[in-house]
Amino acid sequence: MTESLTARLYDEFDSDPQPIVHFMQRLAQRYHLPKHLRVLDIGCGTGRMLEQYAALGWQVTGLEPDGQFCGQAQAMARQLDNVSVICGGFDAIPPDESFHLITAINDPFAYLLDIRERRQAMERMYAALLPGGIVFVEIKNFLYKLLYHEPVAEEIEVIDGKRVAHVMEHEVDFHNARWITRDQYIIEGRKRALLKEHEVAIITPQELLFFAEEAGFRDIQTYSSYEASEPAPLNGRLILMSGRKGMGKT
């Protein structure tokens, strides 16, 4: 584990990106986007989706506010001609109409704890899209998570021959409508666990759809999972939403 340990563990315990890639291809086809897309991935982490998008021939820009993750994503981007990475979040979105597709996967929208920030972020994504462009946002369905709440969850991987336990402690701040996760990575042979805390806003589907419509998006759709081939009501652990920017300039 020679590279950034936090970033390495994030990658090792992350989900398989292939279902997301296939879903994005179906989404692009559904909205009749051009073959050679210009894509912005917000909250790109270490760059796992950037590499996948680039393999499709898309021109990709990543935004990542975490310094360690951004550094690793930039290192990956230097090896590819069609990928660039900017260290920053929603406030670093290019203001002009630059992209056919903007994706915000694995909760970056929910990390905006102030409701006004979320509204502004949706407006920035709208402004950054070319006419006819598509936004796609993934956040956790906290209504589902509250129903099936697990205070503690654990998963195990063997990394470089060492057993690593990822323990996730969950807490709900009901007053501020926030979900707090405390990650512990317990590595065999290491005296101290690696700790990282995440705090995200609890966002309902109605709030997300409202902000999308208020920003100007139309043809707003929801999807039940990344395996979905058609829009569907939300009934699982994720909120998946897409919307289209109008064809005329606004």
- pLDDT value at residue 183: 87
Do 196 and 169 have their domain in common? yes
Do 29 and 98 have their domain in common? yes
Range of the domain at 173: 143-201
Do 176 and 197 have their domain in common? yes
Segment 28-38, tens digit of pLDDT: 999 999 998 99
> Which neighbouring-strand residues pair with 166?
155, 185
Residue 250 included in any domain:
no
Residue 250 has pLDDT above 50, yes or no: no
Residue 249 included in any domain:
no
- pLDDT value at residue 226: 95
Do 125 and 22 have their domain in common? yes
- pLDDT value at residue 1: 42
Residue 201 has pLDDT above 60, yes or no: yes
* Euclidean distance between CA atoms 70 and 28, whole angstroms: 26
| Residue 99, CB-side half-sphere exposure with 13 Å CA sphere | 26
pLDDT interval class at 10 (50, 70, 90) = low
Do 174 and 220 have their domain in common? no
Please give the residue that has the higher pLDDT: either 10 or 196.
196
**Residue matched to tokens 């950054």:** 128
Residue 123 CB contacts under 8 Å (≥ 6 apart), including other chains:
215
| Domain at 184, CATH number | 2.20.130
Q: Looking at the 3D structure of the chain, how many domains does it have?
A: 2
Do 93 and 217 have their domain in common? yes
